[in-house]
Chain A
Amino acid sequence: SQELEQSPQSLIVQEGKNLTINCTSSKTLYGLYWYKQKYGEGLIFLMMLQKGGEEKSHEKITAKLDEKKQQSSLHITASQPSHAGIYLCGADKGNFNKFYFGSGTKLNVKP
């Protein structure tokens, strides 16, 4: 079974629209990571969240970790075609020997 549940599995949005991707764990997380993968390429690190209630932003992407440290959301404002790809959340429980990934969210942005 997946340790991390990610939703939605896929998303198609019109350019300029906002969108949110969610990542949920049944257990408290030590660290929550967001990655982006462009089709056929490697993973690119976006953000890491460690503290309950933490929020980080990079350009038009904002990620939040809830107070219980069990749910994170990734929000993209005014989406662009360059945002298209697969977004993966990952989490560790204190060491990378047990690093879990969600199943990913495939994002397409229509021009």
Chain B
Amino acid sequence: IAGITQAPTSQILAAGRRMTLRCTQDMRHNAMYWYRQDLGLGLRLIHYSNTAGTTGKGEVPDGYSVSRANTDDFPLTLASAVPSQTSVYFCASSEGGRAFFGQGTRLTVV
């Protein structure tokens, strides 16, 4: 059982470039989320999706977009990366009151 798989594990990205962080789950959960984790700030919600075909904005959505074409995949796109988007990104899904997290993607924008 894989759970939630994120790719890539880490990435160094030039400012201004476009980047898509991938997230796939095999648990058939309806709800999925993207968080960023920064020192001293804990996890902050970027975007979420309650079910395939729907998405919503979280606490810090600016500069990010998501899509949910099917239940399993929930990619996060940075259209034009900026250094302030340097962070560790976690994808999560939830079912029955529990959340499950991927291993994270460490993104550095230079």
A101-B33 Cα distance, complex, nearest whole Å: 13
Count of CB-CB pairs between chains A and B under 8 Å: 51
Beta-carbon contact of B98 and A48 below 8 Å: yes
Beta-carbon contact of B42 and A99 below 8 Å: no
In this complex, the interface size class of chain A, counting residues with CB under 8 Å from chain B, is: 20 to 34
Dominant secondary structure of chain B at its interface with chain A: strand
Beta-carbon contact of B43 and A90 below 8 Å: yes
Which of B11-19, B70-78, B100-108 binds A?
A: B100-108
Beta-carbon contact of B48 and A96 below 8 Å: yes
Given contacts A31-B97, A96-B33, contact A104 B103 (CB under 8 A): no
Question: Closest residue to B97 on the A side, CB-wise?
Answer: A31
Given contacts A41-B103, A42-B103, contact A48 B97 (CB under 8 A): yes
Question: Closest residue to B43 on the A side, CB-wise?
Answer: A101
Interface residues in chain A, defined as those with a beta carbon under 8 Å from any beta carbon in chain B: 2, 4, 6, 9, 31, 33, 35, 40-43, 45, 48, 50, 88, 90, 96-99, 101-104
